[in-house]
Structure formats: structure tokens, C-alpha cells
Amino acid sequence: SSVLTQPPSVSVAPGQTARISCEGDNFGSRPVHWYQQKPGQAPVLVLHDDSDRPSGIPERFSGSISGNTATLAISRVEAGDGADYYCQVWDGTTDHVLFGGGTKLTVL
Amino acid sequence: EVQLVQSGAEVKKVGESLKISCKGSGYDFSTYWIAWVRQVPGKGLEWLGIFYPGDSDVRYSLSLQGQVTISADKSINTAYLQWSSLKASDSAIYYCARHINWGDGYFDSWGQGTLVTVSS
């Protein structure tokens, strides 16, 4: 079955740009979606369809795809951006929703 | 405003049955897929399955099939996740989430989560 691989952790200083990768073997034309989860809270959608931001999500959040790797970029990182981030796709072969293992973003 | 409100925390024993709920409001409940996602505290997200209240279509994760049942009552805008015989390994936080565009879609609204603790 398909797997989405994320780095367990990423650290960045305030004001810098954080980049979180998500590697998969079945992206092709499949869109990638990203969620932010803060401790004790439910996940929140921050990007859908590779790079579209839902209402209320700052422009600092952006997304891109290159080959088999999707990347969530957070520019001008703030302390409040510290959270776990998950990528998600649909596996058309198994008709399953897949989540990446999650990346803990630490703002130094 | 779209809202998903889940039932409260549960403490059960191995072998007991359980049914948790997720009530939707602020949208046409029948026309959106609703999914269940599991998270063991400190671990990642795991998709369990999804239900379409409009025609009762249901899909399960192959790894969970037969272990849980997903259903909904569209007359009261409520989705359910149930177990007939709980295991200790079922201890986790369970989220319901509204899914946009089954297939390549995404989860745009989430419930607050229901903590299920199963002890022996």
C-alpha cells in the first residue's frame, strides 16, 4: 500500500521560513492537503488541493509539488505556528484516505 | 457556521460495546461524506472509514474492517462509530470530520474529538 513520509521534526527560528515535506509514491495528479494540529486540539485544514488556503488561513502558508514530494512552506514563522502538521491524499488504488506520519514544527 | 459536536469521553472495559456520536449542524448533513479518524495520544492520524448519509454508502479502512461499524441517522444529523467488543488497543481519541469531494477531497471541519479509554 502507499505511504506518505514526513520528517518527524522541523525546527525554525521566528521570522524564518519553515518547509515541511511529504513524500509519496502515488501523487501523480492526486491533490495533497495539509492539516495543523496544536496540542489538545482537533486538526485544522491549512491547505487543500496542493496550495489553496481556506478562509482564515494566513497567506504565510503556501504549498507546492515537485515530483513525488509535496511541501508546506510557512513564511515569517511565528511562535503560534508551532504544532504538528499532517499531509493527506486519497489513494485511488485502495479507495483509502492516507495521512502522513506528521511533522512536529518547533519554533526556536 | 459548520459544526460537528461529538459525544463525551468514555471509559469502558475490554469486551464491552460502545457507540459514539457526531452531530452536524450549519449545513445539509445528507449531502456531505463524514469520516472517522483515530489518534492514539502522541501518535499520528489514522483514517477509519467514511459514510455518506444521503444513500448510506460506507467505506472502511481495510485494516479496520469488521472491527467497527460506521452509520448515521440523517433525520437527526448524527453520525456514529460503534464497537461490539472493545479491545485495549481501541483506546484513542476519535474524531469525526466532514469530507469535501470524496476521492481527491479533504476534511474541512472536524469534531472536537472523543477520548475512548478501554481497560482490562
Handedness of CA B60, B66, B68, B72 (dihedral sign): positive
Kindly report the backbone phi and psi dihedral angles of residue B31, in degrees, each rounded to the nearest multiple of 5, phi listed first: -105, 10
Model confidence pLDDT, tens digit, residues B53-102 = 999 999 999 988 789 999 999 999 999 999 999 999 999 999 999 999 88
Q: Provide the pLDDT for residue A28.
A: 65
Q: Provide the pLDDT for residue A27.
A: 64
Please give the Cα distance from A26 to A98 (Å, whole number): 11
Kindly report the backbone phi and psi dihedral angles of residue B6, in degrees, each rounded to the nearest multiple of 5, phi listed first: -100, 160
Here the contacts of B52-60 (C-beta below 8 Å, separation 24 or greater) are: B52/B102, B53/B29, B53/B79, B54/B30, B59/A95
Model confidence pLDDT, tens digit, residues B19-54 = 999 999 999 999 999 999 999 999 999 999 999 999
Q: Which strand (E) or helix (H) includes residue B115?
A: strand B114-119
Please give the Cα distance from B59 to A96 (Å, whole number): 8
Contact A44 B108 (CB under 8 A): no
CA B106 to chain A, closest CA, distance in angstroms equals: 6
Residue with cell 506518505: A4
Q: Which residue ranges of chain A lie beneath pLDDT 70?
A: 1-2, 26-28
Q: Provide the pLDDT for residue A3.
A: 87
Give the gyration radius of chain A's Cα atoms: 13
Q: Provide the pLDDT for residue A26.
A: 61
Q: Provide the pLDDT for residue B59.
A: 93
Residue with cell 485502495: A94
pLDDT at B113 over 60: yes
Q: Provide the pLDDT for residue B103.
A: 84
Average pLDDT score over chain B: 96
Q: Which of B61, B95, B107 sits opposite A96 (nearest CB)?
A: B61
Please give the Cα distance from B46 to B92 (Å, whole number): 11
Contact B106 A33 (CB under 8 A): yes
Please give the Cα distance from A16 to A14 (Å, whole number): 6
Residue A57 contacts B, CB cutoff 8 Å: no
